[in-house]
Amino acid sequence: MSSESHFSYINAMTENKCALIHYGELSLKGRNRADFEFKLIENIEKIAGGAVRRHRGYFIMEDGDPGLLGKVPGISWYAEALAVDNDPDSIIGLVRDEVGRMFSGPALSFGVFARRPNKKFPFTSMELAGMVGDMITKSYGFTARLRSPDISVFIEIADKTYIFFEKKEGLRGLPTDVSGRVLSLISGGIDSPVSSYLMMKRGCRVDLVHFHVYADNSFVERTKMGGIFRRLNEYQLGTRVFLVPYYPFESSLLRLTDIAGHELVLFRRFMVSVSEKIAAGNGCLALVTGDSLGQVASQTIDNMALVRQAVSLPIFQPLITYDKQEIVDYAKKMGTYELSIEPYKDCCSIVSANPKTRARRDRILEIEKNMSIRKVIDETLELVTLCQL
Ligand code: ATP
Ligand code: MG
C-alpha cells in the first residue's frame, strides 16, 4: 500500500466524500457477527467521530476524521473515497475528473482495480476496468500497468460505487470490548506499552497499573508516564489507570539482609500479587506483562515460573517470543517509543542490581515471610488510586 497521500482532492469535493471501511477477522465470527459489527461501529464513532452506516461486509463513515481510523482495532483497511451512483457513465466521468485534477506528467502509469460485490451492476469488474482504463489512456496518454503503477484507481461497486486512490492499512485484530477486560502491568520501558497495545488489538479493554517510586500518586501524571497513558488511550478511550506507590515494598525490603540477587523476582511477585487484587475488584479477568523470554535476568523460564506462582489469575505475555527490535518497531509504529526512551526513575532500575537468573523458590518464600509480604500487599492496596482518561 502506498504511504504517499493524494487526498488534497477530497477537500475540494465535499458532497460525496466518505470513508470506506473494511474489517477482517470479524467475518469469521458466525452468529456473533452482528454484535461484533455493532461494537466496531460504536468504537469507530467514538474514536473517529463520524456517523457510520453498516452494509454487507463493509461500513461507510460520513464526516468525522478518517485519519483516526488507523487507531481503531478491528479495521483491516480503509480509504477516503468518493461515492457515485452505480452508473458506468457517472463512474467514468468522476474518474476522469479526479485523475485530471490530481495527476499530470507525460509518462505516468496507472492500474484500475475494480471489484463488484453488487452483482446487479450491468458490467463485470473486468469490463468496467477496461472501460475506465481506455478512458484514462485516451484522455491523458497514461500507460496501463498493473504492477506498482504510479496511479492506482480503486473502484468498488456496492450499494453505491466508491472510487479511491489509496488503500490505508488498519490495525486489524478485534474491536475493543469484545474479548473482556484485562489489567496490564505497565512500566516506563519500551515493552509493556507494546504488550498493552497488542491486547487492545485482540479486542480486550485494557486497564493499566503502574508501580512508581514517588510518595504521591498524583506526581506520575506529570512524568512521561502521563504521555504513555494518553497515547495508549487513543486506541480505546476511557482507559482506567491504577497508580501504586512501591515504598511500602521498598522499606520492608531494606530491613532485610542477605537477599542479594532476589530483589527483582520478589518485586515482580509483589507487583502481580497487588495487581491480582486490583483485577479482582475491578472486573479484570487476566494480567498482562511485557516479558520477552530471555531478554533480561528476570525473564528466564525459572524466574517467570516463580512470578507466575504468586497468583492464580492467568498472566498473558504477548511479547514472549518477540526480539527487542520487533518490539521497538511496534513501539515506533504505535507511537510510544519516543516517550519510553525519555529518562525516568523506574522502580526496576532500583531493585535489579545483579539479579539471579535462577532464584530459589524456598529462599523467595522465606524472604517473603520475613518481610511480612501479605501485610505489605495490604498496606499497598490502601494507597492505590484510580484515574480514568
Ligand atoms: P518493560 O520495557 O516493559 O519495562 P523490561 O524488559 O524492562 O520491560 P522488566 O523490567 O523485567 O522488563 O519488566 C517486565 C514486565 O514487568 C514489564 O513488561 C511490565 O509488564 C512489568 N513491570 C515492570 N516494571 C513495572 C512497573 N514499575 N509497574 C508496572 N509493571 C511493571
Ligand atoms: Mg522495565
Mean pLDDT, residues 303-313 taken together: 95
Residue 27: per-residue pLDDT:
54
Asked if 241 and 136 sit in the same domain, the reply is: no
Residue 11 lies in a domain: yes
Tell me which residue has its CA closest to atom 18 in ligand 1: 290
Tell me which residue has its CA closest to atom 11 in ligand 1: 298
Q: Which residue has the cell 471489484?
A: 115
Residue 174 lies in a domain: no
Q: Which of 191, 194, 270, 302 to mutate to test the pocket of ligand 1 (most atoms within 8 A of CB)?
A: 191
How many residues can be counted in the chain? 389
- Convert the pLDDT of each residue in 194-240 to its tens digit: 999 999 999 999 999 999 999 999 999 999 999 999 999 999 999 99
Tell me which of 353 and 168 has the higher pLDDT: 168
Residue 355: per-residue pLDDT:
75
Lowest mean pLDDT among 182-191, 342-351, 372-381: 342-351
Residue 6 pLDDT > 80 = no
Residue 57: per-residue pLDDT:
87
* CB of 68 closer than 6 angstroms to any ligand 1 atom: no
Find the DSSP H helices in 282-372.
301-308, 324-334, 337-340, 347-351, 361-370
Question: String of b and e for 337-375 (b: at least 16 CB within 10 Å)?
Answer: bebbeeebebbbeebbeebbeebeeebbeebbeebebee
Asked if 146 and 218 sit in the same domain, the reply is: no
Lowest mean pLDDT among 191-200, 230-239, 354-363, 379-388: 354-363
Residue 243 pLDDT > 70 = yes
Q: Which residue has the cell 481503531?
A: 72
**Looking at the 3D structure of the chain, how many domains does it have?**
2
C-alpha dihedral sign at 295, 301, 302, 308? positive
Residue 38 lies in a domain: yes
**∠171-174-180 over CA atoms, to 5°?**
130
- Convert the pLDDT of each residue in 258-301 to its tens digit: 888 888 899 999 999 999 999 999 999 999 999 999 877 778 89
Indicate the residue among 148, 169, 190 that finishes a domain. Answer: 169
* CB of 193 closer than 6 angstroms to any ligand 1 atom: no
Residue 44 lies in a domain: yes
Find the DSSP H helices in the chain.
8-12, 33-48, 88-102, 125-140, 191-201, 224-233, 247-254, 263-281, 301-308, 324-334, 337-340, 347-351, 361-370, 373-381
β partners of residue 51: 62
Asked if 234 and 289 sit in the same domain, the reply is: yes
Amino acid at 204: C
β partners of residue 181: 205
Amino acid at 348: C
62 three-class SS: strand
Which residues touch 251 (CB under 8 Å, ≥6 apart)? none
Asked if 146 and 190 sit in the same domain, the reply is: no
Residue 351 pLDDT > 90 = no
Asked if 351 and 268 sit in the same domain, the reply is: yes
Rounded to whole angstroms, the Cα distance separating 363 from 221 reads 37
Residue 105: per-residue pLDDT:
75
Query: Which listed ligand is nearest to 186 at the C-alpha?
Result: 1
Asked if 216 and 250 sit in the same domain, the reply is: yes
Asked if 226 and 341 sit in the same domain, the reply is: yes
Residue 94 lies in a domain: yes
pLDDT band at 352 (very low <50, low <70, confident <90, very high): low
Asked if 160 and 262 sit in the same domain, the reply is: no
Q: What percent of the chain has pLDDT over 90?
A: 80
Asked if 153 and 245 sit in the same domain, the reply is: no
Residue 258: per-residue pLDDT:
82
Q: Rounded to the nearest 5°, which phi and psi values hold at 244?
A: -135, 120
Mean pLDDT, residues 153-182 taken together: 95
Q: Which residue has the cell 457513465?
A: 89
Mean pLDDT, residues 70-97 taken together: 96
Domain that holds residue 361: 181-388
Q: Are 251 and 261 in contact (CB under 8 A)?
A: no
pLDDT band at 254 (very low <50, low <70, confident <90, very high): confident
Asked if 141 and 67 sit in the same domain, the reply is: yes
* CB of 293 closer than 6 angstroms to any ligand 1 atom: no
* 266: CATH: 3.40.50.620
β partners of residue 111: 152
Rounded to whole angstroms, the Cα distance separating 150 from 27 reads 32
Indicate the residue among 104, 134, 169 that finishes a domain. Answer: 169
Ligand 1 centroid from CA 283, angstroms: 22
Residue 16 pLDDT > 80 = yes
Asked if 85 and 214 sit in the same domain, the reply is: no
Query: Which listed ligand is nearest to 295 at the C-alpha?
Result: 1
Whole-structure pTM value? 0.90
* 107: CATH: 3.30.2130.30
Residue 175 lies in a domain: no
Residue 1 lies in a domain: no
Query: Which listed ligand is nearest to 211 at the C-alpha?
Result: 1
DSSP state of 300: S
* CB of 352 closer than 6 angstroms to any ligand 1 atom: no
Residue 304 lies in a domain: yes
Asked if 274 and 312 sit in the same domain, the reply is: yes
- Convert the pLDDT of each residue in 52-69 to its tens digit: 999 988 999 999 999 999
Indicate the residue among 169, 191, 212 that finishes a domain. Answer: 169
Q: What percent of the chain has pLDDT over 70?
A: 93
pLDDT band at 304 (very low <50, low <70, confident <90, very high): very high
Tell me which residue has its CA closest to atom 7 in ligand 1: 189
